Amino acid sequence: MNIVGARIDGRLVHGQVANLWIPMLSVDRVIVIDDKVAVSDIEKSGIRMATPSKVRLSVLDVERAARQLKADRYASQRVLLVAKRPGVYVDLVKAGFPLEELNVGNMSQTPTTTQVTNSINVEEADVAAFDELDAAGVHLVAQMVPQKKGEEFMELLEGKVNR
């Protein structure tokens, strides 16, 4: 398996991902994993426009992504996984996908979220998912852009939310 990165970003593919993460990781394919986006032609079209032209794009629901990743379908490519919320990665890990590290990027603020950093806001379900990923041995790193040093996400989460 040649997964060069896994990222949470509420905006999926946008300027930071397209112009900073994709070149830095030498990505050949971006796999966006989102059940709702996978069935929305309008959202898929927007993501296609934001993805650099030389990079392949797949927009998959969680079940199909897990199946294709486990089958090592993208073995010859350098793949970046992107999802909006951590629960997607919990589902992948439960399906047998070996996730070693997860980059926690932008998670937008809503009336139901708690702020962890200026750019990361979590709901109760997110906290439970992060705890589950941490317990499964996934290294969680908060890092908006490659030029900034990553921070230990679980340390940032500590004291910000009730568990």
Task: Enumerate the H helices of the chain as residue ranges.
Answer: 15-16, 22-25, 41-50, 62-70, 87-94, 124-135, 153-157
Q: Tell me how far apart the terminal alpha carbons of the chain are, to the nearest angstrom.
A: 34
Q: What is the DSSP pairing of strand 3-8 with strand 101-104? A: parallel
Query: Could you give the CA distance from residue 99 to residue 102 in angstroms, rounded to a whole number?
Result: 8
Which are the catalytic amino acids? 14
Taken as a whole, the chain contains a residue count of 163
* Tokens found for residue 151: 């921070």
Q: Are 57 and 47 in contact (CB under 8 A)?
A: yes
